[in-house]
Structure 1
Amino acid sequence: MPAPLTGVLFDVDGTLVDSTYFHTLAWWHAFRRFDHDVRMNAIHRCIGMGGDKLVDSLLGAERDKSQDQEVMDTHAAVFSTFWPHLRAFDGARDLLSRSRDAGLKVVLASSAREQDLGALRAALGADEVVDAATSSADAEESKPAPDILVAALKAAGLEASEVLFVGDAVWDVQAAAALGITTVGVASGGYSGAELTDAGAAEVFDSPRDLLDGFEGSLIGKRLAA
């Protein structure tokens, strides 16, 4: 029997807030600034990785690594111009509220920069039901390493055995699996349900709204009822 469910960790970018394609465009501009011609679809496939690993994956080992920080800083600067356009996905706020009303701790296990996290939380508008949150400053190594989830557990006083993780990217699933945490996938960030399932997600919903509507029959609801 699994341990009683006492909390849910939520990824934010692409899971609760519609930001994936803003990140894709911001990375494209950052690469072009330094004359790297990287296709947007290739960038999109890496969204959800930590920025350092995304750059490494897309530009390869033979690049001029001295530019890496400037590339990442450019991405951050361009992404910040999209802050006013960030929107929570339909049902995202209510999903967090439903989880909290069920007696669960609600944790935003985000690896966004602190400044970006502020904009994401403002778009989400659910701070009153959030028990803890993390940012990139809380992780030594970025996803798919599990550091940010370790930090999220610590911030909320939870154990891996008593939580589920809700995420939208294959990197989320891999990070959670490293800690033995089951992932409930949402296909709102551009990864398909099949990709999330193949990566190891235990179940997949199309969106936060679909997970909210199916809450009682989801793994979250079933673990609560067990």
Structure 2
Amino acid sequence: MSGEGTRGAVLFDVDGTLVDTTYLHTVAWWEALRQAGRRVPMSLIHRTIGMGSDQLLARLLGEDRDPEEAAAASAAHHTLYAAYWSRLAPLEGAADLLRACAGRGWTVVLASSARGDELEAMRRALDADDAVTAATSSDDVAASKPAPDLVRSALEHAGTTPDRAVFVGDTVWDVAACSRAGVPCLGVLSGGLTRQELLEAGAVEVYEGPADLLAHLDDSLLGRLPGGS
């Protein structure tokens, strides 16, 4: 299916890309795993943030993990992380970036590996739903990042094709998911990974965070997206 005639779409990861949650997740997973009797260094946990919880636990606990232990850890993480929901803070420039993209006629879709209720908490923190056309979460797909399902779901919600979309994310898992879906990915450093890591994973461009991307919006890959009415 050709994307000719459709307007461009900007697909956004949310955790660590638009909302400052990466290290909150790291601490919540660290404590959840301790409650399960597992001592996993935060440095290792941090590098898995951005995956869906199923894939995160598979990486941290091994493919032969006890399903009951994994389920208990996931539930504990959810409870621990939920304690922060009322205090979540958007990253500098995040809401303005979403509105600038919408103002240029691009369809804005959020695509998060978070659960649906976690995504809703982040949307409340962003307070920019006026610029968002649609959102998709791990609740909507069979496999979360780095699988391409979320990116493909976001494309469907945007009503466009990979050649007319750009994804913005903060992790190598975002980049991997985009690569598998055929969508170029812009990286941001607000999730704590390095520029080199994101570029080596395949990010087309890398910015400090939402405010930096906003300042260079027209000069970035996004600036070449087709607009719309």
Which category of TM-score, normalised to the shorter sequence, fits these structures? Answer: over 0.9
Alpha-carbon distance in structure 2 between the residues aligned to 1:215 and 1:15: 15
**Unmatched 5+ stretches in structure 2:** none
Write out aligned runs for 1:33-44 (5 A).
33-44=35-46
Alpha-carbon distance in structure 2 between the residues aligned to 1:157 and 1:199: 27
Alpha-carbon distance in structure 1 between the residues aligned to 2:158 and 2:202: 25
Matched, 1:218 2:220: yes
State the AA in 2 paired with 1:45: R
State the AA in 1 paired with 2:135: A
Residue in 1 that maps onto 2:12: 10
How big is the shift at 1:134? Answer: 0.7
Write out aligned runs for 1:95-114 (5 A).
95-114=97-116
- Tell me the TM-score normalized by structure 2: 0.94
Matched, 1:187 2:162: no
Alpha-carbon distance in structure 2 between the residues aligned to 1:130 and 1:55: 31
Which is further off, 64-73 or 29-38? 64-73
Write out aligned runs for 1:32-71 (5 A).
32-71=34-73
Q: Number of residues paired by the alignment?
A: 224
String of CA shifts for 1:64-92, please: whole Å, max 9, x gaps: 33211111111111100011221000100
Alpha-carbon distance in structure 2 between the residues aligned to 1:194 and 1:162: 26
Alpha-carbon distance in structure 1 between the residues aligned to 2:218 and 2:159: 25
Residue in 1 that maps onto 2:126: 124
Alpha-carbon distance in structure 2 between the residues aligned to 1:139 and 1:75: 20
**Unmatched 5+ stretches in structure 1:** none
Moved over 4 A (4+): 2-5
Alpha-carbon distance in structure 1 between the residues aligned to 2:189 and 2:146: 18
Residue in 2 that maps onto 1:30: 32
Residue in 1 that maps onto 2:140: 138
Matched-pair identity in %: 47
Corresponding residue SS for 2:178? helix
Root mean square deviation, CA, Å = 1.5
- Tell me the TM-score normalized by structure 1: 0.95
Alpha-carbon distance in structure 2 between the residues aligned to 1:144 and 1:194: 19
State the AA in 2 paired with 1:200: G
String of CA shifts for 1:92-132, please: whole Å, max 9, x gaps: 00101110111100001112111111110001010011001
Corresponding residue SS for 1:27? helix
How big is the shift at 1:62? Answer: 4.4
